[in-house]
Amino acid sequence: MAALARRLGLFDATMLMMGGIVGSGIFKNPYVVARQVRTPALILGSWVLGGLIALAGAFIYAELAALRPEVGGQYAYLRDAFHPAAAFVYGWGLLLVTQSGGMAAVSVTFARYVLELTGFRAGETAVAVGTLGALTAINCLGVRAGATVQSALMVLKIGAVLGLVAAGWLLVRPESGGPHPLLDRPPSFGLLSAIGAALVPVLFAYGGWQTASFVAAELRRPERDLPRGLLLGVSGVILLYLAVNAVCVRALGPEGLAATTTPASAVMRRALGGRGASLIAAGIAISTLGFLSQGILTAPRVYYAMAEDRVFLRVVGLLHPRTLVPVVAIALQGLAAAVIAASGRGASSARRARRSSSSAAGRARRAPSAPPVIP
């Protein structure tokens, strides 16, 4: 009987890990943290603390991956640790809500950036659905094809982040203002509350590393490569996130960072003018495309595992005889995301995120609550 092909290695696992975490949010969300804690030490400390929490989770999943190197990853862990019903609910929630809904919103965001950068006269929905369709087709060609595209997009993402850091560090003068205090208020419950609020967008930004475990059955040595990929990927993201936040604090200052809803664009505009803003917009578009590619590669393996357990339609467990990938499951994931995007719900989510970002400055002056964060 046909089985999933083991064609991925440590590099693929690491890129999948990082691709599941790094989205467009790191280019925007630093301002949310700066509105809760107002000194460089607290801002960077929040990102360090969030990274350590994510790394602790990666250690746990590394152990689970070594014990259960099975297709479906988190689905299999829930099934074996708790009850098949818990895994069943998780899998259906992934398809109908979390994975498909997130991909729909991100596909519309990608379409918006592409149209603004290129000036093409096309509808956002058409571009979003077309993008999902193209990525679905690529992944149906085989796990090697999907992983190659994903890795290439992740390398481009890393390049965009490093370009932002280099431009901000070399071409922007540090924001003057003298030495900053360690804390922005005396030690108190209010300070702990502010740090807790700052950690909300930080932990959200670090989320997604667990999805790489979905493809455990397609790694050549899952008991070795998946744990290493988890730890290398999360560690790499921590370094990238700290570099972005350090350059934003240096270039804009804590107050300037808190005052803008587009910190990466603000840094690049100071460094290179309008061209810099266009370059970072292209970087954000690449980052969103990478998120979509990672989702279409990883999530269908959960539905395939469910079909293998006979808690999903058996047809979803079919493998293509030549490419040895679950083409029905991949097509199902792409279709679900495309339907949500075409229905307008994905576009509505993207518009709400944009409106909330544009009006966040006014809300922050009236209340200390954190604005919405972006994946």
- Most confident listed range (179-183, 285-289, 355-359): 285-289
Nearest Cα residue to 80 out of 65, 98, 58, 62: 65
370 pLDDT higher than 50: no
Give the model's pLDDT for residue 180: 83
What are the φ and ψ backbone dihedral angles of 219, each rounded to 5 degrees? -90, 140
The full set of domains in the chain, from first to last, is 10-174+181-366 (1.20.1740.10)
- Predicted confidence band of residue 348 (pLDDT cuts 50, 70, 90): low
44 pLDDT higher than 50: yes
- Find how far residue 68's CA is from the centre of its chain: 25
What are the φ and ψ backbone dihedral angles of 123, each rounded to 5 degrees? -80, 150
pLDDT digits (tens, 9 = 90+) for 313-344: 999 999 999 999 999 999 999 999 999 999 97
Q: Per-residue pLDDT averaged across 159-163, rounded?
A: 95
Q: Per-residue pLDDT averaged across 296-313, rounded?
A: 95
Specify the amino acid at residue 201.
P
Q: Which residue has the higher pLDDT, 354 or 204?
A: 204
**What percent of the chain is predicted at pLDDT more than 90?**
76
pLDDT digits (tens, 9 = 90+) for 72-126: 899 999 999 999 999 999 999 999 999 999 999 999 999 999 999 998 888 999 9
Residue 267 burial (C-beta neighbours within 10 Å; 0-12, 13-18, 19+): buried
Give helix then strand counts, H and E, for the chain: 16, 0
pLDDT digits (tens, 9 = 90+) for 167-206: 999 999 997 666 888 888 899 999 999 999 999 999 999 9
Residue 59 burial (C-beta neighbours within 10 Å; 0-12, 13-18, 19+): middle
- Predicted confidence band of residue 55 (pLDDT cuts 50, 70, 90): very high
Tokens for 47, please give them: 């990102």
